[in-house]
């Protein structure tokens, strides 16, 4: 008999699951959207993605070395942050932009709070919002899709925001990504593929992303131009009540399925997650319809991230044998 037996507290069985496996699964689910982005915008997109990832990994590595903590750059979480940040950038940006963005995302968005699991805000979105605030010109200059019958380089949402008339854009074009936009957000088809993979494997549930999407759709349908409350005189100037366009444009699908669902920064219970999804949907729709920006996904998710602790507090599960 062994002289030393292992003694620890039960349980003695563990599910075959790990944090890094989850992270890499999300990375895999994002591959189709990346491939689509490169096909649509060309090799520039690939460089932005690679720079974003490498810079995120190096930042994490250096900070962990400096703070004398264990280096965990292979756990997939920094990789995922870099990837998501790059997906939120236009394809033609100066090479230093993804580098600075990833640095900010990892250093300020994640490590300042204490690293994995400790951050309040989604790190990739912190990075993106920092870039939008600092270099708005680069962040809103979109390249036209190269291999498709190019329509326009501005995003559909930006065109609407400026009050111009959106021409020649079909839902099918939007669905397959034939439009201007950020690298990872344009091809809805690829994003839906990835999201389905995560659903089937049980890594995400419908509670946040579907609620989020449905609320944006409903809200823009009711309050959008040509919607219920729009005076008829402005009809024709926009796309009133066009909920499908709102769902298919901008970063809604990328945000709802891959960023709002971030475990660390979203509520723990199903009930909390539905509230979170509704909140994201409302804020996104309000910004898009009446705010200063054409797009509201990043801010909506970040604001709801901030609300997560309080949502958690008020959506505790009913414990067995107690009344609510």
Partner 1 sequence: MVRLEEHKTEAENKAIEKMPQPSRVYIPLSQHLGKICSPEVKIGDSVFVGQRIGSVQAHVYAPVHASVSGKVTFVQDWPHPALGRCKAIVIESDGKDNNSRTYEPTNLRTEIGEFTPEKIKKIVLEAGIVGMGGASFPTHIKLNPPKPVDTLIINGAECEPYLTGDYRLMVEKTKEILQGIELVARCLGVKQIYIAIEDNKPEAIKQFGVRSSQFLVKVLKSQYPQGGEKQLIKNILGKEVPSGKLPFDIGIVVHNVATVFAVYEAVYLNKPLYERVVTVTGSCISNPKNLLVRIGTPIKDLIDFCGPLKEEPAKIIIGGPMMGIAQFSDKVPVIKSTTGVLLFNEKEASFNEELPCIRCGACVRECPIFLMPTLISLASQKELWSQAKIYGASDCIECGLCNYVCPANIRLVQNIKRAKLEVIR
Q: Which residues bind partner 1 (CB under 8 A)?
A: 1-2, 5-15, 17-19, 21-22, 115-118, 263-264, 266, 268-270, 312, 316-322
Work out how close the CB of 23 gets to partner 1 at its nearest, in angstroms, rounded to a whole number: 9
Q: Cα-Cα-Cα-Cα dihedral of 286, 289, 291, 297, to 10°?
A: 60
Stated length of the chain: 324
Work out how close the CB of 94 gets to partner 1 at its nearest, in angstroms, rounded to a whole number: 33
Q: Which is nearer to partner 1, 1 or 200 (CB)?
A: 1
d(CA 234, CA 8): 70
The tokens 């998710």 sit on which residue? 301
Q: Which is nearer to partner 1, 3 or 66 (CB)?
A: 3
End-to-end CA distance of the chain: 52
Work out how close the CB of 20 gets to partner 1 at its nearest, in angstroms, rounded to a whole number: 9
Q: Which is nearer to partner 1, 7 or 233 (CB)?
A: 7
Structure tokens belonging to residue 164: 């111009």
Work out how close the CB of 283 gets to partner 1 at its nearest, in angstroms, rounded to a whole number: 21
Q: Which is nearer to partner 1, 153 or 315 (CB)?
A: 315
Work out how close the CB of 309 gets to partner 1 at its nearest, in angstroms, rounded to a whole number: 11
CB under 8 A, 24+ apart: contacts of 311-316 = 311/267, 311/272, 311/275, 311/276, 312/267, 312/268, 312/269, 312/272, 315/267, 315/269, 315/271, 315/272, 315/275, 316/269
The tokens 């968005």 sit on which residue? 109
Work out how close the CB of 65 gets to partner 1 at its nearest, in angstroms, rounded to a whole number: 18
d(CA 257, CA 53): 20
The tokens 């950020």 sit on which residue? 182
Q: Which is nearer to partner 1, 5 or 66 (CB)?
A: 5
Q: Which is nearer to partner 1, 11 or 292 (CB)?
A: 11
Q: Which is nearer to partner 1, 4 or 168 (CB)?
A: 4
- Which candidate, 233, 266, 14, places its Cα nearest to that of 122? 266
- Which candidate, 67, 83, 97, places its Cα nearest to that of 27? 83
Work out how close the CB of 196 gets to partner 1 at its nearest, in angstroms, rounded to a whole number: 19
The tokens 């989604």 sit on which residue? 122
């Amino acid at each position: 008999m062994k002289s030393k037996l292992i003694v620890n507290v039960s349980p003695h069985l563990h599910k075959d699951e790990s944090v890094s496996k989850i992270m890499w699964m999300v990375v895999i689910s994002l591959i189709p959207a990346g491939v689509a982005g490169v096909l649509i915008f060309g090799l520039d997109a690939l460089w932005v993605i690679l720079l974003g990832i490498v810079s995120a990994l190096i930042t994490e590595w250096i900070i962990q070395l400096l703070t004398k903590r264990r280096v965990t750059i292979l756990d997939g979480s920094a990789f995922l942050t870099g990837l998501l940040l790059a997906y939120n950038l236009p394809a033609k940006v100066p090479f230093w932009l993804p580098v600075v963005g990833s640095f900010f995302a990892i250093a300020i968005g994640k490590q300042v709070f204490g690293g994995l699991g400790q951050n309040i805000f989604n790190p990739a979105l912190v990075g993106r919002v920092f870039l939008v605030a600092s270099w708005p010109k680069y962040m809103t200059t979109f390249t036209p899709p190269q291999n498709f019958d190019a329509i326009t380089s501005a995003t559909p949402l930006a065109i609407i925001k400026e009050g111009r008339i959106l021409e020649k854009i079909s839902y099918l074009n939007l669905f397959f990504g034939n439009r201007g936009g950020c690298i990872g957000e344009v091809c809805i088809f690829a994003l839906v593929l990835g999201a389905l993979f995560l659903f089937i494997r049980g890594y995400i549930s419908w509670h946040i992303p579907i609620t989020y999407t449905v609320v944006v759709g409903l809200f823009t349908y009711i309050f959008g131009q040509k919607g219920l409350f729009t005076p008829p005189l402005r009809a024709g100037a926009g796309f009133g009540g066009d909920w499908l366009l709102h769902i298919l444009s901008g970063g809604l699908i990328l945000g709802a399925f891959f960023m709002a669902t971030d475990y660390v920064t979203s509520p723990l219970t199903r009930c909390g997650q539905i509230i979170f999804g509704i909140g994201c949907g409302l804020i996104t729709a309000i910004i898009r319809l009446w705010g200063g920006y054409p797009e509201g996904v990043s801010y909506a998710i970040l604001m709801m991230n901030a609300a997560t602790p309080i949502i958690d507090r008020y959506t505790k599960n009913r414990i067995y044998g107690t009344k609510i």
